[in-house]
Structure 1
Amino acid sequence: MKHHLTHRRARQLEAREELSSRDMQLLWRIESGSMRIDSIGEDGSLNFVRLAIAGDILGMEYVAGLNESLLIRALVPVRLAPLNVVEAPQLMPLMLESLSKVHQRCREVVSMRTGAVEDRIKRLLRILSVVEANSDVSATCNLPSLGNIAEIIHSTPETVCRVLASLRKQHVLEKTTPTNIRSKGLDFHQHRVATHALAA
């Protein structure tokens, strides 16, 4: 296990912005937003591995000495907080936490790549939503582009667009601000969700 020390300020990433190879050698916690993690093949091809959302830790692969080539990109605006680790024993709780989260995210990926596209999109919305406190609107979410949604759920942008349009007609979704969706709960079968037109 590699010794790890971070002395950096919080970072703000814009949608589609990538973490540099240097950044990926440090530990970060996602404070807000969501990112996608892809494995880079020997031929340069990208294969979607999992999501990383608020609360998740980035950089543990490097700390653990894994040599897998990864590309980590922001799906929506993201705020990262550095994890300052001074002594190696401090890494163990973080590694256990990260392992648990990675296992959960991998299970979520499997659930989003089988079944009806509408159900897969709803699962993605649940994962990306953040529950609000003291509000009659209980969850909010910044959504990725149509292209990213399609790749994550293993579909096409055209199909995703049609399903979102269908959900709007069913009043499951309705347009709101250019950047957020809102839901009165995480069960999208019973509660309306507000969303915006997504860029391809």
Structure 2
Amino acid sequence: MKHHLIERGSLRIGAREELGNEDLGKLWRIESGTMRIDVIAEDGRSHFVRLAIVGDILGMEGVAGVTERLVIRALTKVVLSPVKLAEEGQLMPLALESLARAHQRCRDVVSLRTGAVEDRVKRLLRMLSSRETPEGDSLVCSLPSLGNMAEIIHATPESVCRVLAAMRKQHLLQKTTMSNIRSKGLDFHKHRIVAHALAA
């Protein structure tokens, strides 16, 4: 996949693109967007493990000596910044931070796979959203593809589509980017979400 270098050695990766082999051995922090991490089983099949969102660190598995083959793919447009360690002593705090975040993402995945589909979709949207303003009543979220959303929450694309359509009908979810002829669906577009709609 062709990734684009931006300032200070950061990477911009398009939705559906994978982190290349040459970059998998490096440490990256997610500045914007969302990625999914899959493990490749012995039979060659890919299995979803967890999400990685803004602030999470990628690449600690390699530092820890994990030998499983991982695939890290962008669910939405992603910007990664390199994590450079000036001293050996910086590795331990970074590893602890990464471990705590990875543990939380695994807990999040468990919560995304139990309960009503509507609740699972809303939990996922809450994970992927950010507030427009610190005190605002709306959230902003770039939606992954329906297929990815369905696989992550262990539902069908049709079920996810019905939930999103119902939210749009109730004016709880509104697309803020213009559609074009090639892409008229919800996938990869930025949406504004009424914050209370995603309240626990």
**TM range, normalised to the smaller chain?**
0.7 to 0.9
Separation (CA, whole Å) in 1 of partners of 2:163 and 2:139:
21
Whether the 8 Å contact between 1:136 and 1:184 is mirrored in structure 2 is no
Deviations 1:59-118 (A, max 9, x none): 000011111211000001000000011322111111000000001000000000111110
Please tell me the residue identity of whatever aligns with 1:24: L
> Residue 165 of structure 1: CA displacement?
1.5
Aligned partner of 1:93 in structure 2 is 93
Whether the 8 Å contact between 2:173 and 2:192 is mirrored in structure 1 is no
Separation (CA, whole Å) in 2 of partners of 1:110 and 1:188:
21
1:71 aligns with 2:71: yes
Please tell me the residue identity of whatever aligns with 1:100: A
Please tell me the residue identity of whatever aligns with 1:173: L
Aligned partner of 2:130 in structure 1 is 130
Please tell me the residue identity of whatever aligns with 1:160: V
Separation (CA, whole Å) in 2 of partners of 1:189 and 1:56:
22
Residues 175 and 72 (structure 1), Cα distance of their counterparts in 2 relative to 1, 3 Å cut: same
Whether the 8 Å contact between 2:173 and 2:194 is mirrored in structure 1 is no
Please tell me the residue identity of whatever aligns with 1:142: S
Structure 2 runs not aligned, ≥5 long: 1-7, 179-188
The two structures, once aligned, show a CA RMSD in angstroms of: 1.7
Separation (CA, whole Å) in 2 of partners of 1:81 and 1:54:
11
Query: How many aligned residue pairs are there?
Result: 182
Separation (CA, whole Å) in 2 of partners of 1:184 and 1:149:
19
Residues 60 and 189 (structure 1), Cα distance of their counterparts in 2 relative to 1, 3 Å cut: closer
SS of corresponding position for 2:50: strand
> Residue 138 of structure 1: CA displacement?
3.9
Aligned-residue sequence identity (percent) comes to 62
Deviations 1:172-196 (A, max 9, x none): 32343242111342x3157xxxxxx
Deviations 1:7-57 (A, max 9, x none): x70000000110122211110000000000001101110111010001000
Residues 135 and 64 (structure 1), Cα distance of their counterparts in 2 relative to 1, 3 Å cut: same
TM-score, scaled relative to structure 2 = 0.85
